[in-house]
Chains A and B, each alone.
Chain A
Amino acid sequence: MAGWHTHQGQAICLPVANVDTDQLIPARFMSVSRADGYGDYLLYDMRRDATGALRADFPLNAHPGASVILAGRNFGSGSSREAAVYALVDAGIRAVIAPSFGDIFAANAVNNGLLPAKVDDEGYAAVEAAVAKDPQSITIDLDARRLTIDAATIHFTIDDSWALKLKNGWDDIDLTRNYCEAIAAFKVNRSQTATWAWPAEVE
Chain B
Amino acid sequence: MRPPQTMLDKLWAAHEVTRREDGVSLLWVDRHLVHEGSHHAFAKISERDLPVAEPGLTFAVVDHYAPTRNRSKIDAPQIARMIDTLRDNAAAHGLRLYDLDDPRQGIVHVVGPEEGLTLPGLLINCGDSHTSTHGAFGTLAFGIGATEVAHVLATQTVWQRKPRSMRISVEGTLGAGVTAKDIALGWIARLGTDGAQGHAVEYAGSAIRGLSMEGRMTLCNLSIEGGARFGMVAPDETTLAYLKGRRFAPKGAEWQAACVSWASLASDAGARFDREVTLDASEISPTVTWGTSPEQALPIRTPIPDPASLPPHKAEAARAALEYMGLKTGDMLEGTPVDQVFIGSCTNGRIEDLRAAAAVLKGRKARVPGLISPGSARVKAQAEAEGLDRIFIEAGLDWVASGCSMCVGMNGDLVGEGKRCASSTNRNFKGRQGRGARTHLMSPAMVAAAAVTGELTDVRPLLVGRVT
Interface string of A6-46 (1 = CB under 8 A from B): 00000000011110101100111011011000000000010
Q: How many A-B residue pairs have CB under 8 A?
A: 183
**CA A77 to CA B79, docked complex, whole Å:** 26
The one of A18, A27, A28 in contact with B293, judged by C-beta atoms closer than 8 angstroms, is A18
Could you list some 20 contacts between A and B, CB below 8 A?
A31-B81, A73-B194, A74-B192, A78-B129, A79-B128, A80-B128, A80-B145, A107-B144, A111-B145, A161-B22, A172-B151, A173-B151, A176-B26, A176-B155, A183-B17, A186-B17, A195-B250, A196-B119, A196-B254, A197-B121
Q: Does B316 interact with chain A (Cβ within 8 Å)?
A: yes
Task: Indicate if A53 sits at the interface (CB-CB under 8 A).
Answer: no
Judge whether B403 is part of the interface by a CB distance below 8 angstroms.
Answer: no
Additional A-B contact list (15), CB under 8 Å, known A199-B31, A200-B116: A16-B316, A22-B432, A28-B409, A45-B430, A80-B129, A81-B145, A82-B145, A103-B197, A161-B22, A164-B22, A173-B151, A176-B154, A176-B155, A183-B155, A183-B157
A67 on the B face (CB < 8 A): no
Q: Is B43 in contact with chain A by the CB < 8 A criterion? A: yes
B257/A196 in contact, CB under 8 A = yes
A104 sits at the interface (CB 8 A): yes
Question: B128 — nearest CB in chain A belongs to which residue?
Answer: A80
Interface residues on A, range: 35 or more
Query: Does B251 sit within 8 A of A, measured CB to CB?
Result: yes
Q: For chain A, residues 148 to 177, give those with C-beta under 8 angstroms from any C-beta of chain B.
A: 159-161, 164, 172-173, 176
CB < 8 Å neighbour of B227 from A17, A102, A164: A102
Q: CB < 8 Å: which of B145, B247, B251 contacts A108? A: B145
Contacts of B193 in A (CB 8 A): 18, 74, 77
Q: Is the CB of B143 within 8 A of A104?
A: yes
- Within the complex, the shortest CB–CB distance from A90 to chain B, in Å, comes to 13
CB-contacts of B126-173 with A (<8 A): 127-129, 131, 143-148, 150-151, 154-157, 159, 161
Q: Is the pair A197, B30 in contact by a Cβ cutoff of 8 Å? A: yes
Contact (Cβ within 8 A) B258 A196: yes
Which residues in B have their C-beta under 8 angstroms from that of A2?
none
- Give the residue of A83, A100, A187, A199 whose beta carbon is less than 8 angstroms from that of B194: A100
Residues of B within 8 A of A164 (CB): 22
Q: Which residue of A lies closest to B226 (CB)?
A: A77
A190 within 8 A of B: yes
Number of chain B residues whose Cβ lies closer than 8 Å to a Cβ of chain A: 81
Q: Does B313 contact A (CB under 8 A)?
A: yes
A103 touching B229 by the CB < 8 A rule? yes
Report the bound CA distance from A82 to B144 in whole Å. 9
Given known A100-B197, A111-B147, A172-B159, contact A16–B427 (CB-CB < 8 A): no
* Interface residue from B20, B145, B157 paired with A161 (Cβ < 8 Å): B20
For residue B245, give the distance in angstroms from its CB to the closest CB of chain A.
Answer: 11
Name B145's contact: one of A107, A198, A199 (CB within 8 Å): A107
Which of A78-92 touch B at CB < 8 Å?
78-83, 85
Q: Given A30-B410, A159-B161, A80 and B254 touching (CB < 8 A)? A: no
Complex CA gap A45/B65 in Å reads 21
Given contact pairs A31-B78, A197-B30, A179 touches B18 in the complex (Cβ within 8 A)? yes
Asked if B333 lies at the interface with its beta carbon under 8 angstroms from chain A, I say no
* A176–B20 CA distance with the chains assembled, in angstroms: 11
Q: Is the CB of B145 within 8 A of A173?
A: no
